[in-house]
Amino acid sequence: MKNPPIKTALFFLLLSSLLTANLHAAPNVPPAAPSKSPAGPSKYVTDNASVLHPGTADRLSGQLADFYRKSADELIIVINPNLPTGVAIGDYARQLYEGWKIGQGKDTGALLLICTQERQGRIHAGRGLATKLSEDVCKKIFIETIAPRLDAGDYDGACKAAVTALTAALSR
């Protein structure tokens, strides 16, 4: 039997290696679009996890609307059932704050984000409030005032305490 020419053998070897490589390659999937913030809240208190008693979100939204009219400092509370996969609570709070433009461009706003499934929360304050709501003050309010109520399952009490503590800190 006659041996096939070298060129033909190399051609089939190259072709078979390319086909094998293509079978094992990742599918041609376009890169994921950058994550977008969900639509901004329509009220000052939004309970996406349905953990507040009826009327609580509306009462607190009214208080925060009054506070905004008097001070021009915008405080938003959002309760979500969970965090997006792979996103830390601080990063997500910052993304929401910036995406929703809380503080009306003056950066004088704050967001309290609570995620029930992960049992995490975070207060993110804008730079315009840094003298009154520093990172340390936000952490202290959360740990001493909000977290104990959340740990007890008292979401209404946690949100009421948050409104009281945040408005008091900003009114000093």
In a domain, 111, yes or no: yes
pLDDT tens per residue across span 79-89: 999 999 999 99
pLDDT attached to residue 93 = 97
Average pLDDT estimate for 107-120: 97
Does the residue 25 lie in any domain?
no
Read off the pLDDT band of 4 (50, 70, 90): low
More confident residue, 27 or 147: 147
Q: What is the domain-level CATH number for residue 81?
A: 3.10.310.50
Higher pLDDT, 143 or 19: 143
Q: Mean pLDDT score of the chain, rounded to an integer? A: 85
Per-residue pLDDT at 17 exceeds 80: no
Q: Which of 110, 113, 111, 115 is nearest to 170 (CA)?
A: 110
Nearest CA among 1, 36, 168, 38 for reference residue 113? 38
- Is position 159 within any domain? yes
Q: Pull the structure tokens for residue 104.
A: 């009306």
Amino acid letter, 98: E
Helical residues (DSSP H) of 25-154, grouped into ranges: 56-71, 89-100, 135-141, 147-151
Which residue range is the domain that position 128 belongs to? 45-171
Identify whether 130 is part of a domain. Answer: yes
Residue 70 has pLDDT above 70, yes or no: yes
Confidence (pLDDT) at 40: 82
Residue 152 lies in a domain: yes
Of 24-33, 45-54, 154-163, least confident by mean pLDDT is 24-33
Taking the model in full, what pTM does it have?
A: 0.78
Sort 125 into a burial class: Cβ within 10 Å, 0-12 / 13-18 / 19+: buried
Rounded CA gap, 42 and 95, in Å? 17
Instruction: Please count the structural domains in the chain.
Output: 1
pLDDT band at 97 (very low <50, low <70, confident <90, very high): very high
Domain membership of residue 17 (yes or no) is no
User: Which pLDDT does position 30 carry in this prediction?
Assistant: 37
Residue 7 lies in a domain: no
Asked whether residue 33 is assigned to any structural domain, the reply reads: no
